[in-house]
Structure 1
Amino acid sequence: MVTHVSLEAHDDERGALLAFLAEQRGGIRRTLLGLTEEQAASRPSASELSLSGLLKHVAEVEQGWVARAKGEPPAVARDESNWHECFALVDGESVESQLAYWEKVAADTESFIRSVPSLDDTFPLPPAPWFPPEGRVSMRWLALHLIRETARHAGHADIIRESLDGKTAFELVAQEQGASWE
């Protein structure tokens, strides 16, 4: 399971940002509850997205952004020729292995965000039309971007899961907590 940051009120901005990120990770993680590998890899909607593919993508993207902020290369290099490979499990990858990987990525993200001297510190971005024109962003921007990216895909995951078996996010929260949903 992906590490949870307490969602209780936080006395600091970093804790609040990390709590919101953890909440969105939980939304994606819950969509995989009780599914087989085949169900998680299926594409029941008009989209080409699957739950296992989204899981791999969000873990890879989060790791890549934190690596960029640290001035390091991402663990997996993606370009125009192979970007689509982050949306499907391959070579013995499983939902379980991707959840374990994401847990490590989440712990690294939390450690990094808590360790930077200031959320106002910046790091460079490569030139691209979808990045801010200044070419640099703050650690605060990084945290907010990870929340936005994860939340967007949590919404995709909700639709995919509901298309698979009709379960909604509220039902999955209840299932995770061992409560009944009526």
Structure 2
Amino acid sequence: MPFFAPSVTTEADAAFSFLTQQCTQLKITALGLTDEQARSTPTVSGLSISGLITHSAQVVNGWIQQVKDPARPIEFSDHAAMNREIGLEGMFDGSTLPDFDIAEVVVIFDRAMDQIEAARQAVAEKDIDLGTQVPMPHNPWMPTDFAMTVRWILAHLNTEIARHVGHADIIRESIDGAIAYQLNAQADGEPWPPEGWAEQAS
């Protein structure tokens, strides 16, 4: 079941494996939704499943480029071009919606997820130390009083995507009552609820 990350062996393995797992969980929140449902905002928040997946695609794709090439300086002005590489035009904060249906949004997100594996391979093949410092971006939201490393970027991505998975879980449950265990079982083609669920839950 993709609800759990696989066993890991090294720090880099853990960072990439858990990031992939969290991205998978975010994508699963869209399972079976109509485009109207995916774009809906059923809570007091302006966030939607479609908006969160789009925002997370640009976040993952943007940050992971610097993991692949730690010496590469990336500025705010570079993000528009990087977004276009995965099929996005513009910037998305989770409340703004792309002019795509949910199936197209998931395809874009898959392209961003492909970059995670590309970064994993780059770290292994180039023997990139996770403590390698990267150039600090001059973005309005970035603090300037610390040294940024590959390790920091991977930890940041894991925490940000995990936070958005939590957002998406609440939105999905507000749409149709589906919870993460149920959606993971459906994604794996397993019955829901599983045999013995009622006895264990009581």
Q: Aligning the two structures, in what range does the TM-score lie when normalised by the shorter sequence? A: 0.7 to 0.9
Please give the TM-score of this superposition, normalised by the length of structure 1: 0.83
Q: Does 1:88 align with 2:99?
A: no
Contact 2:55–2:92 under 8 Å retained in 1: no
Cα distance in structure 2, aligned partners of 1:63 and 1:8? 22
The unaligned stretches of length 5 or more in structure 1 are none
Contact 2:49–2:172 under 8 Å retained in 1: yes
Secondary structure of 1:28's match?
A: helix
The aligned counterpart of 1:144 is 155
Secondary structure of 1:180's match?
A: coil
Cα distance in structure 1, aligned partners of 2:27 and 2:158? 15
The aligned counterpart of 1:133 is 145
Question: Runs of 4+ in structure 1 displaced over 4 angstroms?
Answer: 82-86, 127-130
Q: After superposition, where does 1:16-27 map in structure 2 within 5 Å?
A: 16-27=14-25
Deviation, 1:39, is: 0.4
Cα distance in structure 2, aligned partners of 1:129 and 1:12? 31
Q: Alpha carbons of 1:146 and 1:181: their partners in 2 closer, same or farther (altered >3 Å)?
A: same
Contact 2:54–2:92 under 8 Å retained in 1: no
- Once the two structures are superposed, residues 95-141 of structure 1 have per-residue CA deviations (whole angstroms, 9 ceiling, x without a partner) of 2222222222222233224423211111122265653612x311111
Deviation, 1:88, is: 3.2
Q: Alpha carbons of 1:28 and 1:129: their partners in 2 closer, same or farther (altered >3 Å)?
A: closer
Cα distance in structure 1, aligned partners of 2:151 and 2:103? 30
Please give the TM-score of this superposition, normalised by the length of structure 2: 0.75
Secondary structure of 1:122's match?
A: coil
Q: Which moved more, 1:16-25 or 1:52-61?
A: 16-25
The aligned counterpart of 2:105 is 98
Cα distance in structure 2, aligned partners of 1:60 and 1:127? 15
Q: Which moved more, 1:20-29 or 1:67-76?
A: 67-76
Q: Which moved more, 1:120-129 or 1:149-158?
A: 120-129
Higher Rg = 2
Query: Which amino acid is the alignment partner of residue 179 of structure 2?
Result: T
Count of residues in Structure 1 that have an aligned counterpart in Structure 2: 172
Contact 1:52–1:88 under 8 Å retained in 2: no
The unaligned stretches of length 5 or more in structure 2 are 85-89, 194-202
Q: Which moved more, 1:6-15 or 1:136-145?
A: 6-15
Identity among equivalent positions (%) equals 33
RMSD: 2.4
Cα distance in structure 2, aligned partners of 1:178 and 1:101? 24
Q: Alpha carbons of 1:97 and 1:84: their partners in 2 closer, same or farther (altered >3 Å)?
A: closer
Cα distance in structure 2, aligned partners of 1:158 and 1:129? 26
Cα distance in structure 2, aligned partners of 1:163 and 1:45? 7
